[in-house]
Copies of this chain bind each other. A is one copy, B any other.
């Protein structure tokens, strides 16, 4: 019973996601959010809670809708294919939308006021989870002989994430897809092969 909701909650969340993606957590104001969602403030609060909860839901949606290339990558047969899929997937996603470039896990909060600290930690934690999964995948690759004994799965995972973060920063700065593909390509040149010690 009661009055029906007149707006699409999923659509409003998508709109909020775009704003956060573009301006970050603290840079996005409710004026921005309501304008993008086409919905008044109290509607956002009743549907999603406060700003922090709204961001968390937007982040979850971001993961589900745009980061599918991550679990995809982990299932590929070789560590090199895993790395390549992640790098080119990141380049593609970070340059796909002109009005919100880069990665929400980086744009969300990097440095900010004390109020944004919980959100910053959420993003750090999310990135750490991804890095751990990649490391475990590389440990498997090493056990399978896909990576040489000299390879260090933890360093490779941290390196791969670092390049991904760097690509996100550069994408947000306006770098072309083509340039970033060059970055990804360069990163892959270092990839250890099974026979040689390290490098191509």
Give A contacts to B, CB under 8 Å: 21-24, 26-29, 102, 106-108, 110-113, 116, 124, 127-128, 152, 154-156, 158-159, 161-167, 169-170, 172-175, 179-180, 182-183, 185-192, 198-200
Contact = CB atoms under 8 A, between A and B. Distances in A.
A189 B199 contact: yes
B154 A182 contact: yes
Given A113-B27, A189-B199, A169 B165 contact: yes
B116 A111 contact: no
A124 B199 contact: no
A182 B159 contact: yes
A41 to B, nearest CB: 17
15 contacts: A24-B111, A110-B169, A110-B172, A154-B179, A158-B183, A159-B163, A162-B167, A165-B169, A187-B190, A188-B190, A189-B199, A190-B190, A190-B199, A190-B200, A199-B200
Contacts of A188: 190
How many copies of this chain? 2
Given A24-B111, A26-B26, A182-B152, A175 B158 contact: yes
A110 B120 CA distance: 14
B162 A170 contact: yes
Contacts of A113: 23, 26-29
A165 to B, nearest CB: 4
B158 A179 contact: yes
Given A24-B110, A162-B183, 16 more contacts: A21-B111, A24-B112, A26-B113, A27-B116, A102-B110, A102-B111, A111-B172, A127-B173, A154-B182, A155-B183, A159-B183, A163-B163, A165-B166, A165-B169, A169-B169, A189-B198
